């Protein structure tokens, strides 16, 4: 862990960027390719540490995976051909890997042990394990499976009809992936719609399922077939440059091939509501995950309220939207975001504490935060908490502060955006 000092002297941002591949889609492309029979090819894969952890886990299960730049090839004879791993499956900092793997491994033919880094060791797993146990999964672990390490004995599963207590794509996806090997019809009911990459990819790999008014259902025992996956640019990563382009002086940034999946595009809606100068031009060439070219320019912004069913569509973007709100005129209120407390860190506390160090007028609430703006920000030494989103929030703040910003662990940004600082330099004028 090493400090990084950022002193940008309030630059303008100009130019074009191709945002790295979507983390959620990259994870799932490997998972589905390993489950499927035949060859799966992937382009635009995110070479972040989280996604590489997913590759490493499946290699330990005997799946052949080749990586050539951002192109990945997975060759699998299906789950029946997996080998029992002789090593612990290490998921690093990746909650997606950990939670979705639980669903996959629960219905497999192998016994495995899974653990992650210190951050993963603090993140709750029972929200996934409880419904999987209802399906007949044999999973044991620390605090009765609340925390890693976890041991999974693959077993025969029975389908369930499950009402989601909170909007969580990870919990939903774990149940759906377990349902592939379950006997009967798996049904998941959502009150608030969470990101739907798993449902889209199930169809892409040949599964038959129905999705109607928040109810997803499909029959177990379906065989998936290898296919080609084009990974769009990650809108959660694009959000940092959308905010930077809006708040930096005399700026115009064009972001290409950004995923605009309607379960993930809440950041675009919020930017529009706040008066951002932005255009979104959809592309026509991606059948399963829609993409667009997004242009953002320096903007005069106004405060807004971010609440309700938009929260699952931008949960990962709230840290950078909080920074955006410090430069908007008036009050911005973020609420209904309790899920932030169980991310890589308690992001409500982390965002508020670090932005206050910069001079922001921001206060935490039980389920979000209240921000007053616009406020000039000052340089400071910031903690990242080992959380890539907090690290990038601090780095974007450095573009507009009076004085330098020091990040205690800038390396954590590589989890989702290894080329982040190169991209900053590419557009900084």
CATH number for position 202:
3.65.10.10
Sign of torsion, CA 123 56 149 158? Answer: positive
Q: Output the pLDDT for position 158.
A: 98
Q: Is 168 annotated as a binding residue?
A: yes
225 falls within a domain: no
Domain around 160: 23-219
Q: Output the pLDDT for position 344.
A: 63
Q: Output the pLDDT for position 1.
A: 66
Sign of torsion, CA 312 313 316 322? Answer: negative
Residues 212 and 306 in one domain: no
368 falls within a domain: yes
Domain boundary among 159, 194, 219: 219
Strands (E), 19-63: 37-43
Count of structural domains within the chain: 2
226 falls within a domain: no
- Low-confidence stretches of the chain (pLDDT beneath 50): none
Q: Output the pLDDT for position 397.
A: 98
Region for 352 from its dihedrals, namely left if φ exceeds 0, alpha if ψ lies in -120 to 50, beta otherwise: alpha
Q: Is 95 annotated as a binding residue?
A: yes
Q: What are phi and psi of 47, to 5 degrees?
A: -90, 45
Q: What percent of the chain has pLDDT over 70?
A: 99
Kindly report, residue by residue over 8-63, the tens digit of the pLDDT: 999 999 999 999 999 999 999 999 999 999 999 999 999 999 999 999 999 999 99
Residues 171 and 236 in one domain: no
User: Are 369 and 348 contacting, i.e. CB atoms less than 8 angstroms apart?
Assistant: yes
Residues 165 and 195 in one domain: yes
Q: Which two tokens stand for residue 201?
A: 């990819």
Residues 155 and 245 in one domain: no
Q: Is 285 a catalytic residue?
A: no
Q: Is 24 annotated as a binding residue?
A: yes
205 falls within a domain: yes
Residues 154 and 180 in one domain: yes
Q: Output the pLDDT for position 342.
A: 63
Other C-beta atoms closer than 10 Å to the C-beta of 335 total 16
Q: Is 383 annotated as a binding residue?
A: no
Q: Output the pLDDT for position 338.
A: 86
Q: Is 59 annotated as a binding residue?
A: no
| Residue 408 DSSP symbol | T
Q: Can you tell me the distance from the alpha carbon of 391 to that of 386, in angstroms, rounded to the nearest whole number?
A: 8
Q: Is 389 annotated as a binding residue?
A: yes
Q: Is 23 annotated as a binding residue?
A: yes
| Active-site annotation holder among 196, 316, 387, 409 | 316
Q: Is 189 annotated as a binding residue?
A: no
Kindly report, residue by residue over 95-137, the tens digit of the pLDDT: 999 999 999 999 999 999 999 999 899 999 999 999 999 999 9
Region for 144 from its dihedrals, namely left if φ exceeds 0, alpha if ψ lies in -120 to 50, beta otherwise: left
Residue with tokens 């993409």: 291
């Amino acid at each position: 862990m090493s400090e990084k000092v950022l002193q940008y002297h309030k630059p303008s941002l100009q130019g074009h960027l191709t945002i790295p591949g979507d983390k959620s889609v990259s994870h799932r492309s490997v998972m589905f390719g390993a489950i499927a029979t035949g060859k799966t090819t992937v382009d635009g894969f995110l070479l972040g540490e989280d996604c590489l952890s997913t590759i490493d886990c499946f290699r330990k299960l005997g799946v052949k995976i080749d990586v050539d730049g951002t192109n990945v090839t997975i060759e699998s004879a299906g789950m029946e051909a997996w080998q029992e791993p002789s090593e612990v499956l290490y998921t690093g900092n990746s909650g997606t890997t950990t939670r979705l793997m639980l669903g996959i491994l629960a219905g497999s033919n192998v016994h495995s042990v899974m653990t992650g880094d210190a951050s993963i060791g603090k993140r709750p797993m029972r929200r996934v394990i409880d419904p999987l146990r209802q399906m007949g999964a044999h999973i044991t672990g620390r605090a009765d499976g609340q925390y890693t390490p976890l041991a999974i004995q693959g077993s025969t599963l029975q389908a369930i009809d499950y009402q989601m207590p909170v909007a969580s794509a990870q919990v939903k996806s774990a149940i759906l992936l377990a349902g592939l090997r379950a006997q009967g019809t798996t049904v998941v009911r959502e009150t608030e719609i969470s990101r739907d990459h798993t449902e889209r990819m199930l169809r892409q790999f040949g599964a038959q399922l129905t999705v109607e008014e928040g109810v997803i259902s499909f029959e177990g025992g379906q065989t998936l077939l290898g296919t080609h996956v084009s990974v769009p640019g990650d809108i959660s990563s694009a959000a940092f440059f959308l905010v930077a382009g809006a708040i930096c002086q005399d700026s115009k940034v064009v972001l290409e091939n950004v995923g605009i999946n309607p379960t993930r595009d809440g950041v675009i809606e919020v930017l529009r509501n706040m008066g951002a100068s932005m255009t979104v031009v959809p592309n026509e060439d991606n059948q399963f995950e829609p993409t667009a070219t997004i242009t953002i320019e320096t903007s005069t912004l106004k405060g807004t309220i971010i609440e309700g069913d938009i929260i699952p569509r931008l949960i990962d973007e709230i840290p950078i939207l909080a920074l955006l709100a410090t430069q908007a005129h008036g009050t911005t209120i973020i609420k209904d975001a309790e899920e932030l407390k169980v991310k890589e860190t308690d992001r409500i506390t982390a965002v508020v504490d670090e932005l206050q160090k910069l001079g922001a007028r921001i206060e935490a609430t039980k389920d979000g935060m209240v921000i007053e703006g616009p406020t000039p920000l000052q340089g400071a030494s910031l903690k990242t908490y080992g959380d890539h989103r907090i690290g990038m929030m601090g780095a974007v703040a450095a573009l507009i502060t009076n004085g330098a910003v020091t990040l205690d662990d800038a390396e954590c940004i590589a989890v989702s955006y290894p080329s982040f600082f190169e991209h900053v330099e590419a557009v900084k004028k």
